[in-house]
Chain A
């Protein structure tokens, strides 16, 4: 291939600074447009039910932050969401799509419930043991997908998802079976079939600030977010994972075994989801009891948080708070007459909208490169 003579330096500098500005402008416009489109569609849905969007927005804000005690609730929900998102980030960085967090989370909660209600011991030991076992259970559950992928080439996208449906039945089995986790206390407050509640000592300490309370799982999640960010960016292990995610062949050549590193990434990914489930239970979700619908979509929403944060563990923190806020805010929507499921639509639309700008940018860059290349060869 022939190369064009190098352009004069000053031309390049002017050109590149102009280009940088126009690129920045373009990207901003793209983001504004796509987020605007997502919100417009959501607003249209609200209007369809005969409600005004500002009223709905106010209800969401009240429910998420402004009304007394609400931001504590928001933070309590943000914690497991962030944990799930961290797991997703670890997987995606390694090029693996574990989308079965909802199931791994249930297995984590199941392990926590088992340790908390069936084993004897000091409260703190049981709590730490339960959280650890919860993480291990989630990791092992995702490990099934790892074995299937690296032994037999089954895509983890499919296996992890099928495992979700099985996890729901395992939990159903556990809480309806007398010798397993079913609560047989005749004085239990409701007739619903659940596990026994975690005893007092095995619960996560509650933090109280300004009349708001949230469980200390938030602290665990925040610390882990920093650790994940550090490990991915600054350690050999993190480098190996990123390499694996970018190019399996190069990774293999350098000596990063796809099988070992990938399995480990899937396991870690599931372990975060499992820990999220254990934290939810020990943090007071559904009154410290394991129930059939225990996961309440936290797994799916955590997954979306990771996508929204572009697999950046620190960016996942505000995104988790945003999604948790939408969720707790939805609790106040009943008064306005809008179904709270509108929030599910808004969340997914936001993620889809944010996928568009980088993809458009990439195409533009490719076109520009191609134009430059063909310009060179035609000279």
Chain B
């Protein structure tokens, strides 16, 4: 028993653990930030998974073509947005079911990326690490938060920016109104489905950026299985946070920790069954969803399509 406690203490005091938790959690946070906006608008954008993968691949292609990390990230944004365009227009301009569109879009992206990866086979490299002076000297969390590759730092200003956009602008107010009471929003002259489309675009771009960040900011190469359901974990992070920004970030960090935990254990010499460890983040996500979903009030019109005259 003491052995186990010692092992856990060992893992949780390891700087590697915190560093990779921030990296993996940061990746989730990119996607979850955008998903939060989409869900605030009343649409569950499950093609966030596809946006992540498309963004990761496009990021690798952009980097491969130009050798510039910036271009890679930009390509990622565009790649993610392409998936968002399909999702938004098919489910909130035409009225195809958002889940059906999302599932199909995800499968389409897997096929597309798998096919194009064989043709283009892009190579990428990891961006350089920039340590922010003073801040990175804080023990444990200092290097974890401020000693990362530089694309990580793009995430930090996006957090207050998203908060500002969602809570301090007219656009944000309309997005939230559309997610809470689309009928009322419609009557007051807001184009409900347009706001929902825009929210999805924003989410898809951030997810694409997150995917590109995974390639050029973390792993340094592209692999078709690298996203592996993280988009759905990002959705779970939004649920975990009760559709609030702070809680969502905490959720992303928690799931990042879960991922980091299983990656850090073998590094420190602790062995557990590999399959159990690989399943751990998903199991944790399910358990957390089970306990958390009912605790918060979700946007009242979440996942309900809006058609004027129908409730």
Contacts and interface: CB of A to CB of B under 8 A. Distances in A.
Interface string A161-178: 111111001101100100
A161 B99 contact: no
30 contacts: A97-B103, A152-B294, A158-B232, A158-B235, A158-B236, A159-B289, A162-B229, A162-B232, A162-B236, A162-B286, A164-B229, A166-B282, A173-B275, A300-B107, A304-B104, A307-B104, A341-B118, A343-B111, A344-B114, A344-B115, A347-B111, A348-B108, A348-B111, A351-B104, A352-B86, A352-B101, A355-B90, A355-B94, A362-B94, A370-B309
A377 B245 CA distance: 46
A44 to B, nearest CB: 12
B96 A359 contact: yes
Interface in A349-366: 349, 351-352, 355-356, 358-360, 362-363, 366
B115 A339 contact: yes
Q: Which of B104, B228, B289, B291 has the most CB of A within 10 A?
A: B104
A162 B285 contact: yes
B112 interface: yes
Contact of B112 (A151, A307, A343, A345): A345
A45 interface: yes
Interface string A40-69: 000001001100000000000000000000
Contacts of B103: 97, 99, 303, 307
B278 to A, nearest CB: 5
A112 to B, nearest CB: 20
Interface string B252-293: 000000000000000000000111101100110110011101
A154 interface: yes
A344 B44 contact: no
Contacts of B115: 45, 339, 341-342, 344-345
Interface of B: 44, 46, 86, 90, 94-96, 99-105, 107-108, 110-112, 114-115, 118-119, 228-229, 232-233, 235-236, 239, 273-276, 278-279, 282-283, 285-286, 289-291, 293-294, 303, 307-309
Query: Size class of A's contact patch?
Result: 35 or more
A348 B107 contact: yes
A341 B180 CA distance: 42
Contacts of A358: 96
Contact of B307 (A343, A356, A360, A366): A366
A155 interface: yes
A341 to B, nearest CB: 4
A281 B90 CA distance: 37
Given A173-B273, A366-B307, A152 B290 contact: yes
Q: Mostly helix, strand, loop or mixed at chain A's interface?
A: helix
A350 B295 CA distance: 40
Contacts of B112: 345
Given A158-B239, A166-B279, A169-B275, 15 more contacts: A45-B115, A99-B103, A148-B286, A148-B289, A152-B289, A154-B239, A154-B290, A165-B282, A166-B283, A169-B279, A172-B278, A307-B100, A348-B105, A352-B108, A366-B307
A162 B107 CA distance: 15
A148 B286 CA distance: 9
A176 B276 CA distance: 12
A268 B273 CA distance: 32
Contacts of A184: none
Contacts of B274: 172
B282 to A, nearest CB: 5
B265 to A, nearest CB: 16
B94 A356 contact: yes
